[in-house]
Amino acid sequence: MTSSFHPPQRTLMGPGPSDVSPRVLQAMARPTIGHLDPVFVAFMDSVKELLQVAFQTANPLTMPVSGPGTVGMEACFVNLVQPGDTVIVCRNGVFGGRMRENVVRCGATPVVVDDPWGRAVDPEKLERALEEHPQAKLVAFVHAETSTGARSDAQLLASIAHRHGCLVIADCVTALGGIPLKVDEWGLDAVYSGSQKCLSCPPGLSPVTFGEAAVKVITGRSTPVQSWFSDMTLIMGYWGSAQRRSYHHTAPVNALYGLHEALLILREEGLENAWARHRRHHLALKAGLEALGLAFVVPEAERLPHLNSVSIPAGVDDAKVRGRLLEEYNLEIGAGLGELAGKVWRIGLMGHSCNLTNVLRCVGALEAILESEGAPIATGVALEAARAAFATA
């Protein structure tokens, strides 16, 4: 390509990235300054404070690591898991599977507690696994399983783990900003998230937070963390006290401007209001999709508001419908992952993408395309159902 790249203006209603607010994009276009410039060092403290608000934590070790959510995941595992440890991994979708991979690569033994894809993690199964494996040191689970749309009870799972003397690693990549998440109140020891889901930033940053007990494990390790880049004892010198900041790697300066702005937007709206907004638009989308005749994969009580998985009607060409949505409506929805590939669509309502215009656009576009593809859906009722549900939600 010999000319500038101008991407199309899409509406992003998949599993992430979500639509980015113009405020965030404008913030990212501000001048790049040195990452050890005193002005930038003070700004980093502001990012940390805003993240503490979003995570509902007073943990001093709260910061965005430089990399996508997967790097935050890796940072939690390589720092807390030592060779020879036993780690209980709750797996009810793709990301639980990746947690297991991380445990293995840390030289530890995973004990997997499996639940069906599309269901929450079963607390009783976790309890039993902990009874059977008293040597376990850690429990890892996904709060919001974006691969299926299931929400697990993070508070309950953490309390069970703690009762058995285990620390907790929680994947809150899509939970942050979308559903209630209270790191301190729930006692989550290590949590990672991502910038491009309900925070509505471009991808590339992973907010993490470590509680006191987790920090004790990290600083008391008998073996060094095998990843130099993700070693928190080194990163603490960079993101820690502003007085003693020393070079570790070059932080993605402009990406952090974006995250800061997104966190400001979240604080202006208020966490409770943001959670309520996701729920209200989910109810409108649900009413519209169900009026079309599309069925949700996850039982109602375990559903995420910001990731809606629905079964693809029999005889409908998955890729063709998604292709037409993108081409004709500039609308992106997500495909199924793993064992749900080809069986479901994943419709995201995350952060800046979570608004009534998008709900109606998605329901209307799906109706038009499914009708023209000859799918057995109800027509002429879905938009009104979504609007009515929104009005009464």
Ligand X SMILES: *Cc1c(COP(=O)(O)O)cnc(C)c1O
Residues of this chain that bind ligand X (CB under 6 A): 16, 68-70, 73, 95, 142, 144, 146, 171, 173-174, 194, 203
Query: Nearest approach, Cβ of 73 to ligand X (angstroms)?
Result: 6
As measured in angstroms, the least distance from the Cβ of 146 to ligand X is: 3
N- to C-terminal Cα separation, the chain: 48
CB of 145 to ligand X, least distance (A): 6
- Cβ closer to ligand X: 20 or 142? 142
Name which of 20, 53, 58 is nearest 271 in CA terms. 53
For the chain, where are the E strands, in sequence order? 11-13, 61-66, 86-91, 109-114, 138-142, 144-145, 150-151, 167-171, 190-192, 205-210, 307-311, 331-335, 344-348
| Nearer Cβ to ligand X (16/305) | 16
Whether the CB-CB separation of 108 and 81 falls below 8 Å is answered with yes
Q: Which lies closer to ligand X via its Cβ, residue 79 or residue 146? A: 146
Residues 6+ apart with CB under 8 A from 98: 70, 73
60 versus 203: smaller Cβ distance to ligand X: 203
In the block, tokens 């952060």 appear at 351
Q: Is 366 exposed, middle or buried (0-12, 13-18, 19+ CB in 10 A)?
A: buried
Q: Tell me whether strands 109-114 and 86-91 are parallel, antiparallel or unpaired.
A: parallel
- Taking CB positions, which residue lies at the least distance from ligand X? 69
| Closer Cβ to ligand X, 204 or 288, answer by number | 204
Find the shortest distance in angstroms from Cβ 91 to ligand X: 12
Query: In terms of C-beta density within 10 A (0-12 exposed, 13-18 middle, 19 or more buried), how is residue 283 classed?
Result: middle
Give me the least distance between CB of 363 and ligand X, in Å please. Answer: 23
- Which of 72/288 has CB closer to ligand X? 72
Q: How far is the CB of 125 from ligand X (least distance, A)?
A: 20
